[in-house]
Amino acid sequence: ETLEVSNFLRQIIDSDLASGKHANRLDSAGKPLPSVITRFPPEPNGYLHIGHAKSICLNFGLARDYAHAPQGARCNMRFDDTNPSKEETEYVDSIIDAVRWLGFDWVEDGVEHQHYASDYFDQLYEFAEKLIEAGKAYIDSQSADEIHKNRGTFTQLGTNSPFRNRAPEENLTLFRDMKAGKYPDGAHVLRLKIDMAHPNIVMRDPVIYRIRHAHHHRTGDKWCIYPLYDFTHCISDALENITHSICTLEFENNRPLYDWVLEALKDIGVFKGPLPKQYEFARLNLTYAITSKRKLLQLVEEKRVDGWDDPRLPTIVGIRRRGFTPESLRLFCERIGVSKADSWIDMSVLEQALRDDLDARAERAFAVLKPLKLIIDNFDPTVEEPCSAPKHPHHEDWGRREFTLTKELWIEADDFMIEPIKGFFRLYPPKDGQPGSRVRLRHGFVIECTGYDTDANGEVTAVHANYFSDSKSGTPESNNYKVKGNLHWVSAKNAIKAEVRIYDRLFTDPHPDSGDKNFLDAINPNSKQVLTAYLEPSLSNVKAEQRFQFERHGYFVADRVDHSAAKPVFNMCVGLKDTWK
């Protein structure tokens, strides 16, 4: 986990530290500012997903890694909440939970660096007025359609608005009247006066304020004009003294605008240098997953999954419920690294990170997922033979789990075949004068299959065997028995009955929403299976979110929501091996 992946952002930070670019800065109270300040700026309009985890690990991870910088480093938590109609407090809370769960916080010397773009509405408005006064912004009264059309295209220059040369005093009056609620939505907008012939369309007099008579989850009805992303984000960064503002590649074209706004405000004395700089990295694209908030919402609303925290979803709450650990997600983010080139990461990389984390940490247990009765005919029905097994094969110091072997056991239905296929070394009955197979019941005795029972439909209802009383695991005599099959089992007498949910990938297509595909067509109809399983009795006091390796099956977690000691529910996190080819 200490694996240090060098990336282009570290090189930039290293050189900024070397040049002292952000050295000796003081905050408004005269306190030294950290040498490196990043921020994680989600819009609270949905639940975070695995892509956000990459951004969180990057931004908070850099702050952690540069703690040794001359004045330290920190990462601010910022809610980019400038779009009143889509944002809710429920999302703010879930985002805070998710980032904390991933192992990060934003407290420095007892001060919480949790900010909201909406906290800056007053300043943003004041700065907009200053830009108007400086002749750098104007009120446009064209319709949204006209503005869109007159922006031009990649191959066609834009056209100046007929309102572009309004006098600053007139602009100011209109802007104040917009703020005062004198106009309906869409009547006017505030635009920057940059260049309608700029080769970069983003720079063709971008709109920075619009009228929106809408209730905001934090500012209520105080405002009926709201600033847009390109105006808000850079100013929020500057107000928070961010040094490195890291975002995904689709904002590359917006970088000149980011710089333009801050330079313009610097020119009129609002900010002093050095200004924050924007850097872009490639977003995470994960196969067999969807990371668009809109499409995730559709899956939830159409009940194609069991809510935002469905263990099949790549939301942080879903991944958590699936049994992923914060450590495994941080490991995944380190392994995939940070680059400037868009690429796809295979789902198996995420799954392997969990396997690697849990292999070292999860206690082992026996669980029979598809139970079939095994009857040991020569075993005394009144005896409970004590057996034990290590909790972890490499940590003898973790102690042992105790359980008993009795006459009737549960074994996996798949561990028995009436007609064994070639290479099947598990249980099969005697045939044509040949004895039945011999296998070891792990940490118990060697048995020999003697027959089986069927019901009226020919379904196998029980397997019969005899055991060898001198074959107990751990005894010197047990070495006299050489068998190829080694089966897990639980005593029918004291097994714990549990619901076990087996999950598979939600989509059958690695790129369910690429091109003009409809992602709903690629939904895997068998992505969730609910089984009634039997667990070894040592699992009777498991707490929600405890994780185990069920031997021979994979890793399982006690469900965060539904599990209780009275009604155990486990989710499959990941199998033992990567079975996807």
CB of 334 to ligand ATP, least distance (A): 14
Main-chain dihedrals φ then ψ at residue 299, nearest 5 degrees:
-60, -40
Determine if 293 is a binding residue for ligand ATP (CB under 6 A). Answer: yes
255 labelled binding-site residue:
no
Question: Residues 533, 371: contact at Cβ < 8 Å?
Answer: yes
496 labelled binding-site residue:
no
420 labelled binding-site residue:
no
**Closer residue to Mg ion in complex, CB, 43/346:** 43
Annotated catalytic, 277?
no
**Closer residue to ligand ATP in complex, CB, 226/366:** 226
188 labelled binding-site residue:
no
Tell how many helices (H) and how many strands (E) occur in the chain.
12, 29
Q: Which of residues 261-290 bind ligand ATP (CB under 6 A)?
A: 283-284
51 labelled binding-site residue:
yes
Determine if 485 is a binding residue for ligand ATP (CB under 6 A). Answer: no
Contacted by 206, from Mg ion, ligand ATP, none: CB < 5 to 8 Å by type: none
Contacted by 283, from ligand ATP, Mg ion, none: CB < 5 to 8 Å by type: ligand ATP
Question: Residues 292, 283: contact at Cβ < 8 Å?
Answer: no
49 labelled binding-site residue:
yes
d(CA 261, CA 51): 28
Contacted by 94, from Mg ion, ligand ATP, none: CB < 5 to 8 Å by type: none
CB of 327 to ligand ATP, least distance (A): 20
Q: How would you class 159 by CB atoms within 10 Å of its CB: exposed for 0-12, middle for 13-18, buried for 19 or more?
A: middle
Tokens of 103: 């192992």
d(CA 195, CA 161): 11
**Closer residue to Mg ion in complex, CB, 293/563:** 293
Other Cβ atoms within 10 Å of 149 Cβ, number: 13
Instruction: Give the CA radius of gyration of the chain.
Output: 31
CB of 393 to ligand ATP, least distance (A): 37
Contacted by 438, from ligand ATP, Mg ion, none: CB < 5 to 8 Å by type: none
135 labelled binding-site residue:
no
Q: Which of residues 10-69 bind ligand ATP (CB under 6 A)?
A: 41-43, 51-52, 54-55
Determine if 547 is a binding residue for ligand ATP (CB under 6 A). Answer: no
Annotated catalytic, 283?
yes
Catalytic residue among 10, 25, 43, 334: 43
d(CA 172, CA 167): 9
**Segment near Mg ion (CB under 5 A), from 39-47, 83-91, 240-248, 324-332?**
39-47
Residue nearest to ligand ATP (CB): 51
Contact with ligand ATP (CB under 6 A): which of 159, 160, 248, 348? 248
Residue with tokens 């070495």: 479
Question: Residues 357, 335: contact at Cβ < 8 Å?
Answer: no
Q: Which residue type sits at 29?
A: A
Q: Which of residues 63-102 bind ligand ATP (CB under 6 A)?
A: none
**Closer residue to ligand ATP in complex, CB, 64/364:** 64
Annotated catalytic, 43?
yes
Main-chain dihedrals φ then ψ at residue 201, nearest 5 degrees:
-55, -35
**Closer residue to Mg ion in complex, CB, 308/410:** 308
**Closer residue to ligand ATP in complex, CB, 216/391:** 216
Main-chain dihedrals φ then ψ at residue 422, nearest 5 degrees:
-60, 135
Catalytic residue among 283, 442, 493, 560: 283
Length of the chain: 581
CB of 293 to Mg ion, least distance (A): 5
d(CA 448, CA 487): 12
Tokens of 573: 């996190």
**Closer residue to ligand ATP in complex, CB, 137/345:** 345
**Closer residue to ligand ATP in complex, CB, 139/336:** 336
CB of 235 to ligand ATP, least distance (A): 16
CB of 43 to Mg ion, least distance (A): 5
Question: Residues 200, 260: contact at Cβ < 8 Å?
Answer: no
Residue with tokens 């910022």: 78
Inter-axis angle of helices 255-267 and 229-239, to 10 degrees? Answer: 60
From 483, 490, 535, select the one nearest 387 (Cα to Cα): 490
248 labelled binding-site residue:
yes
Catalytic residue among 293, 391, 505, 528: 293
Cis peptide before 274 (omega within 30 of 0): yes
Tokens of 252: 């590359």
d(CA 204, CA 152): 9
CB of 287 to ligand ATP, least distance (A): 13
Tokens of 145: 């359609």
Residue nearest to Mg ion (CB): 43
d(CA 355, CA 376): 35
Determine if 166 is a binding residue for ligand ATP (CB under 6 A). Answer: no
For 269, residues 6+ apart whose C-beta sits below 8 A from its C-beta are: none
Where on the chain is the footprint of ligand ATP (CB under 6 A)? Answer: 41-43, 51-52, 54-55, 247-248, 283-284, 291-293
Per the annotation, where are the binding residues? 43-45, 49-55, 80, 229, 248, 283-284
Where on the chain is the footprint of Mg ion (CB under 5 A)? Answer: 43
Per the annotation, where are the binding residues for L-glutamine? 80, 229
Catalytic site positions: 43, 283, 293
